[in-house]
Structure 1
Amino acid sequence: MTASSQTYLTSPTADTDELRAIFAPTFTKIADGSLARERDRTFPHEQVRWLREARFGTLRIPVDRGGFGASLEQTFLLLADLGEADANVSHIWRNHLAFVEDRLNAPVTDTNDVWLDRFLAGAFIGGGWTEANNVTLDNIKTTVSRRNGHYEVSGAKFYATGSLYADWLDVIGRGDDGDLLTALVRADDPGVTLVDDWPGFGQRTTASGSARYQQVPAEVGDVFPATERFSYQAHFYQIAMLAVLTGITRAAQRDGSSALLARQRNYPQGLTEVPAADAQLLAVIGEVSAEAFTAGAALTQAARILDWVAAGRVAADTDNEHRRLIDAEVAITQAQLAIIAAALRATTIVFDALGASGVSEETGLDRHWRNARTLASHNPRVYKARILGDWFINGEEPLSNIAALGRGGQGN
């Protein structure tokens, strides 16, 4: 297919193996220091810079416009690879990649050409949607007001993931007429205050804390009606988080295997003196590998269905868009149940293959469970099986259970 005459989306052209070969060296460098950064709460500014220099943020931009031409499946598989290297760094990219996807779905205009040029030049986008104290989109406090030929943004946000690494912040607020607007503001503006006060026990260097805005200017071309965000936005945000969880599950297998090989002595009840030869301990690692396989398979299948949604946009198939979104919601909800269960089980049972040394802070195996548990808590998994059952039995549309502007996993 060719590009839609109305958007920047085109059919993917990238090769998965080639993409992995391009980014593997950078992912390996990022993995090398991930344990020390986690232990010391060192923010990965350098690692984010490496990815920007490698043009990771342009994965989805078509080749003829200067990007890699990757599919959504390829993008999320790479995000999982990055999550295996460092779950914090992978999560940091979620908001950026989502805003790129939004602009690719936007009409071809001079203003949006500017945004593509910014992405290609390495500009990085952080998040600023969610507000604390149970504020929802219905009673949002942040304002985006028209002032003398531009806009001004004032308000406070939380869960501002990636904000400390960003050039631009994607902020949602209410306009003068009461409609919701998204405004892109410069992170280094004097009216912006970013605070690392994220209190979670996992994902501790994602800069998911507070952001305050005091009369921060936004140009007219950088403000968009929130209702015009791309139709599969909530699905994109959800599956990006599932990609990180998939990477964590693989990291648990990797680090658990290394720890078992390094174990020098076994318990008296063991089957062999050498732990790495003990069939019961080997079975634990085998089970962890099966959980990693489950997560990867679920991620791949869900991402392919989301590519089908994007393909409908390329073909301007508006008649079937709603049905495609339903199929995506069902698949990603199923993937959420499978991947979260796999990640939490893998990061828990891996300790059964190890001795007391497995809980050493020097080893840092606990970070995989803490990070997985934190990501899993961003979204109400407890409701998802019911929603699926209601769809399959009663035909109750699952799309009715997500907000039209939902982030797909950004709540308290």
Structure 2
Amino acid sequence: MTTVTNASAKSLTSDPVPGEAGWLPHPPVQAAHIIRDDAEAIAVAERLKPLFAAEAKERDRERRLPFAEVDLFSQSGLWGITIPRAYGGAGVSQVTLAKVFATLAAGDPSLTQIAQNSFEIIDVIRQTASEEQKRDLFGAVLAGKRLGNAFSEFGGKNVEAFETKLVRSGNDFVVSGRKFYSTGALFAHLVPIVAIDEEGHVVVAIADRDAKGLEVVNDWSAFGQRTTSSGTVILDAVSIPASRVLPAHIVYENQSAVGPQSQLIHAAIDAGIARGAIEATIDLVRNHARPWIDSGLDRAADDPYTIATIGDLKIRLHAAEALLERAGRQLDETIADVNDETIARAKIAVAEAKVLTTEVALAAANKLFELAGTRSTLGVHNLDRFWRDARTHTLHDPVRWKFHAVGQYYLNGVQPPLHSWI
């Protein structure tokens, strides 16, 4: 059975107390709604946004893991919206997917990101799985099972230097290693694991979260995105059925849209952080902030410098959202006609969006305090969570290298790198 531990690595499998830090039962599978089209997906996201926002500051302050909210999220049907229609999903566009994530992240970006890696794996399944595997795994997601994440590793020369190994054991396989940044694993029913097989290829092995030897450690200590539980997964000779091993090298060692699709969601989350920060700033300026003495005004909302700054933030947000939508359209075109040039266009379009969503998320989260005044820094408001979330999440894929890739593409005709981080 899976062990779920806290930061001190104490086992919490014996008589845990609900509500204690680190406690998490093996989540029961609850039936999920089936979303039928793009319009319904966006409507569901709009309905969930205020529910996500309702206790976001309290969850962040207390590092309280969002058990009930994750259940609501997956049962809403949103976790299955990119599953192709042929397998029972809505097969929504990448434009819609980005809108869904940006909308939800405006309410709570930590909670929203818990689902991010599931969508990457859904696309890996779509492109690399057998028909039997597709029916099995897509059906599981549509029925309410959540896919987690055991991809990245803390050590290694770079993000692609994997030490986790998959070896054959009879008719099946065994995987061993140690993962970090494992967003979603604590809440998952199935944990996809990136490993290297005996031939040196990248594979994804999907384990049951209650598999023997699979230990989830709740040791995520970052100052931002506090409730993603993006900590450690320890894999000690975890048995994996052959039917749950995907030849992921097909998309990870060759040009594919998996990378830019994942990057698009990250950009959408940053756009959502910016939108949430701007919404909070406008509320504070309208209803709580005091005008500066030199303005001679009665309302902070009438301060001409404040008005201009809000205008600037809105323009930058709308520009970022426009590039995000443009990137989604390019991805949809690329998925319909995959070749080296369309993959390059998708990667560059997403990189351009990522630059602006990063910049506006950080700017909006910072300007909030300048415009709302000193009282906005009081702990009771916990408004610094916007900046902490923005600063933490935008570190996923360095923007300085986005500028480089975009410049190389337009100036020198150099295709973007092969890897999935652009």
Question: What is the aligned residue count?
Answer: 385
> Would you say 1:131 and 2:140 are equivalent positions?
no
User: Cα offset for 1:340?
Assistant: 0.9
Paired residues of 1:263 and 1:276 also in contact (CA < 8 A): no
Paired residues of 2:87 and 2:135 also in contact (CA < 8 A): no
Paired residues of 1:198 and 1:207 also in contact (CA < 8 A): yes
Structure 1: unaligned runs, 5 residues or longer: 1-11, 314-320
For residue 332 of structure 2, give the secondary structure of its aligned residue in structure 1.
helix
> Would you say 1:384 and 2:398 are equivalent positions?
no
User: Cα offset for 1:205?
Assistant: 1.0
1:225 counterpart residue number: 247
Paired residues of 1:88 and 1:205 also in contact (CA < 8 A): yes
Paired residues of 2:146 and 2:188 also in contact (CA < 8 A): yes
For residue 269 of structure 1, give the secondary structure of its aligned residue in structure 2.
helix
Give a deviation string over 1:199-244, Cα, whole Å, max 9, x none. Answer: 3211111111111000111110111222123711111121111010
Paired residues of 1:73 and 1:304 also in contact (CA < 8 A): yes
Alignment of 1:5-404 (within 5 A): 14-16=37-39, 18-106=40-128, 109-136=131-158, 139-229=161-251, 231-263=256-288, 265-312=290-337, 321-398=339-416, 400=417, 402-403=418-419
User: Cα offset for 1:84?
Assistant: 0.5
Alpha-carbon distance change, 15 to 120 in structure 1, aligned in 2, over 3 angstroms = closer
Alpha-carbon distance change, 13 to 311 in structure 1, aligned in 2, over 3 angstroms = farther
Alpha-carbon distance change, 107 to 224 in structure 1, aligned in 2, over 3 angstroms = closer
Mapped to 1, the partners of 2:404 and 2:204 lie a distance apart of 32
Paired residues of 1:233 and 1:407 also in contact (CA < 8 A): no
Paired residues of 1:248 and 1:372 also in contact (CA < 8 A): yes
Paired residues of 2:38 and 2:90 also in contact (CA < 8 A): no
Mapped to 2, the partners of 1:281 and 1:177 lie a distance apart of 60
User: Cα offset for 1:13?
Assistant: 8.3
Mapped to 1, the partners of 2:180 and 2:402 lie a distance apart of 25
What amino acid does structure 2 have at the position aligned with 1:396?
V
User: Cα offset for 1:407?
Assistant: 4.7
For residue 161 of structure 1, give the secondary structure of its aligned residue in structure 2.
coil
Bigger Cα displacement from structure 2, 288-297 vs 37-46: 288-297
Mapped to 2, the partners of 1:133 and 1:262 lie a distance apart of 48
Alpha-carbon distance change, 273 to 138 in structure 1, aligned in 2, over 3 angstroms = closer
For residue 125 of structure 1, give the secondary structure of its aligned residue in structure 2.
coil
For residue 127 of structure 1, give the secondary structure of its aligned residue in structure 2.
coil
For residue 140 of structure 1, give the secondary structure of its aligned residue in structure 2.
coil
Give a deviation string over 1:66-100, Cα, whole Å, max 9, x none. Answer: 22231111011101101011100111111111111
For residue 19 of structure 1, give the secondary structure of its aligned residue in structure 2.
helix
1:6 counterpart residue number: none
2:19 counterpart residue number: none
TM-score by length of 1: 0.88
Bigger Cα displacement from structure 2, 353-362 vs 72-81: 353-362
Give a deviation string over 1:368-387, Cα, whole Å, max 9, x none. Answer: 11111111111121122222
2:16 counterpart residue number: none
User: Cα offset for 1:119?
Assistant: 1.1
TM-score by length of 2: 0.86
Paired residues of 1:128 and 1:211 also in contact (CA < 8 A): yes
Alpha-carbon distance change, 311 to 373 in structure 1, aligned in 2, over 3 angstroms = same
User: Cα offset for 1:64?
Assistant: 5.0
Mapped to 2, the partners of 1:117 and 1:173 lie a distance apart of 24
Paired residues of 2:98 and 2:268 also in contact (CA < 8 A): yes
Percent identity between the two aligned chains: 26
Structure 2: unaligned runs, 5 residues or longer: 1-34
Give RMSD over aligned pairs.
Answer: 2.0
Alpha-carbon distance change, 274 to 156 in structure 1, aligned in 2, over 3 angstroms = same
Give a deviation string over 1:361-412, Cα, whole Å, max 9, x none. Answer: 22222111111111111112112222222221221212x3x42xx355xxxx
Mapped to 2, the partners of 1:393 and 1:65 lie a distance apart of 42
